[in-house]
Structure 1
Amino acid sequence: MTTGCRPAAAPPGADAPRVGAGYAACHHGEILQGVFRDAHGHGRVAGLVTLPMPGLGTHAEFVRSPGAAPEELWVTPAGRTKALSAASLAVRECAARRREAACGGRLRLSGDIPVGLGMGSSSSDVIAAVRAVADSFGLRLSPRTIARLAVRAEQASDPLMLDGRPMLFAQREGRVLEVLGDALPAAVVVGCAVGGGRPVDTLSLPAPDHDDEDVRAYERLRALLRRAVAEGDPALLGQVATESARRAQQRLGHDEFGPLTEIAARTGAVGVQIAHSGSVAGLLFDPAARRLRRRLRCCADALEDQGIPVTKIFTTFTTSEEFPHGRAHSGVDRPAGPRQTGGRPAVPAL
């Protein structure tokens, strides 16, 4: 198995290559991340709730070469070793289900997710690769199976294989701890980049050391987020995001956290959200707030004045758009979330 772009040669008489396609979206960091009690109320497990972000993702194409050795796997661009590992695992999984021999092939990835900013670029690569391999076998793997393969491929995975509902997800175990509801409360997010937009080396950060008080605090935030989702309350959503980001500063230490919270208070944002393993951040606004466009413009201007570049303005609104996961993944509806009755704010991406 290699990361080069030279195609694997199939032996004479081998079947024709079979092509599959896959897609996975990204996210904008976390609304909540910490350590929680497991389903039985005892023990600790790391978990997170991500903030979905529309419009960016990874497309994958896998050209399967029946008859080629399973080790003859190639990926383009070179260096995407996690996605290649996921493709290898997915080939063996799908071949076993089809009662076929595992084989080699070529994986090609394309997309527009910035790398190293905490937006789930590696998870997106991995999940798109698994879906493309499955599609080349004419299969559609369940989210649970994709999560299992993703964790094996990259040790921890974001929950991008799920259906878009807000879920507390154990990223190192690949399992859902709790489905919090149907959709996050509607909010408008002014996205920005802290730390100069430089990638964060999470391996260089001190390992989190959570005690019982931390678990109790995160469980309170979990309950508050559950209530925010049930009531569709963006203010509670912002409260959870801000407190989670504040607690993460003990490890991340972003210089911009103070200015972000000050700008949020001055412009009427309901909260501040920061990726716990990257440099993307966002200020959350209630879409029903008075003079919303003016608030958003004032927020963007204030961020720029502080030297914090604005990246994109987007919403948490979920649509019924179908994402292309290849032939075996077509016709999959995404649940429709709450819509703003007055329409989305006509704010341009910056």
Structure 2
Amino acid sequence: MTAATRPPRTAARTRQGTGRAACHHGEILQGVFLDERRRPVHALVTLPVDGPGSTARFTQHPGASPDEVTVVPAGRDKARTAAVLALRECAAHHGPEPYGGELTLTGNLPIGLGMGSSTSDVIATVRAVADSCGVLLPPVTIARIAVRAEGASDPLMHGARPLLFAQREGRVLETLGSALPPAVVVGCALGGGAPVDTLSLPTRPYDDDLAAYAHLRRMLRRAVTDADTALLGRVSTASARLRQRVLRHEEFPALTRIADRTGAAGVQIAHSGNVAGLLYDPRTPGLRHRLRRCARALAAEGITPTRTFTTAASPTTEEYTWTNTSRKPSAART
């Protein structure tokens, strides 16, 4: 798909644009998978969450070079890079000549927890720049720009569909279906909610894990097809266990104990951060009681509950507020 030019707008509106992007709640599955050419590729399936996100506003300054972009607040270097790349991309299409300008970012995403905060900033930025140029950029183009700006990217530009996404290449390896199985997720923050420097994490050879990840990929494909929440939980828990060889969360054993005691389908973590969740089937008898027991058990273990949300239409659940909303620079996803 290629970019398209929107119908002409008034001159006053062609110089300003807005964009928004959602976040996610870590991953259901992340590892190394064989692509269509049988090459091992790092890829992931994210757990979407409505609500928090980034909003960008880009105002072009006539006469400014496309490389002259300032960002408010300062320090959002990835978003600034994305704005410059987006301006260059838009210049190749039939819109008015793009100029540099000012990018303003707002949002309520915690940084460094593994919720895709930097990707949300970048995608919102690209959409705002394109909007200011009167150009519609397709998701594949936004993904390419995001990877160039960040080094790796989450698949937020593609919406909430469950995708196996090669985060370092910005491409979809497999569309698993239209939606994840229904689940109620009790979110929490591990490590005291401290950000994780992804680049400081050790790397591991994945050759021995290829068969395990291929099996989990097949299981997740079946879970999505059958809307099987129990199988979804098995996949996310197995993936989280594999990732513990790198992250080594001290609270992970407590998470799995609480999941077992409260009848959760499984646990999930951000594979490059400290956000985690316990997944429940919304059809489980006594769900609200189980959710309250879960929140109390987490607090008793010194783990902060953050937010309860759903992957699909299901009973409304109590929501918590984010407890770590600091905006500290985060490293690229591994």
How high is the TM-score relative to the length of structure 1? 0.86
**SS of aligned partner of 1:349:** coil
Q: Is the 8 A contact 1:17 1:66 kept in 2?
A: no
Partner of 2:18: 21
Aligned-partner Cα distance in 2 for 1:16–1:30: 38
Displacement of 1:305 after TM fit?
0.4
TM-score by length of 2: 0.90
1:15 Cα deviation after fit = 8.8
How far has the Cα of 1:99 moved from its partner? 6.0
CA contact (8 A) 2:95 2:134 kept: no
CA deviations over 1:25-59 (Å, ceiling 9, x no partner): 0000000000000113x110000000001100000
Unmatched runs of 5 consecutive residues or more in structure 2 = 1-10, 322-334
Identity %: 62
Give 1:134's aligned residue.
130
In structure 1, what residue type is equivalent to 2:163? M
Matched position secondary structure for 1:27: strand
Matched, 1:278 2:273: yes
Aligned equivalents of 1:142 and 1:210: distance in 2? 33
SS of the equivalent of 1:97 reads coil
- For 1:347, the equivalent position in structure 2 comes to 318
User: In structure 2, how many angstroms separate the alpha carbons of the residues matched to 1:279 and 1:176?
Assistant: 25
1:102: Cα distance to partner?
4.2
Query: What per-residue deviation string (whole Å, max 9, x for no partner) do you get for residues 156-181 of structure 1?
Result: 00000002110000000000000000
Whether the 8 Å contact between 2:34 and 2:41 is mirrored in structure 1 is: yes
CA contact (8 A) 2:186 2:295 kept: yes
Aligned to 1:68: 64
Tell me the equivalent position of 1:54: 50
Aligned to 1:294: 289
SS, match of residue 243 in structure 1 = helix
Partner of 2:221: 226
What is the aligned counterpart of 1:33 among 20, 23, 30? 30
The reply to whether residue 87 of structure 1 matches residue 58 of structure 2 is no
Q: Which amino acid aligns with 1:162?
A: H
Alignment counterpart, residue 166 of structure 2, candidates 143, 164, 170: 170
SS at match of 2:181: coil
Which residue in 2 is equivalent to 1:266? 261
> C-alpha separation between the residues in 1 aligned to 2:36 and 2:22?
28
**Equivalents in 1 of 2:13, 2:272: separation in Å?**
42
Change (3 A) 1:146 1:258: same
**What is the rounded CA distance, in whole Å, between the counterparts of 1:196 and 1:160 in structure 2?**
26
Whether the 8 Å CA contact 1:293–1:345 is kept in 2: the answer is no
Name the CA distance, whole Å, in 1 between partners of 2:114 and 2:81: 21
CA distance in 1: counterparts of 2:204 and 2:117, whole angstroms: 22
Q: Distance in 1 between matches of 2:295 and 2:277?
A: 11
Instruction: Provide Cα deviations, 1:233-256, integer angstroms capped at 9, x if missing partner.
Output: 110110000000000000000011
Report the number of matched residues. 311
**Secondary structure of 2:93's aligned partner:** helix
Gaps of 5+ in 1: 1-13, 318-338
In 2, distance between residues paired with 1:267 and 1:15? Answer: 57
Q: Is residue 2:170 matched to residue 1:199?
A: no
Aligned residue for 1:255, secondary structure, equals coil
Structure 2 CA distance for partners of 1:312 and 1:99, relative to 1, 3 Å: closer
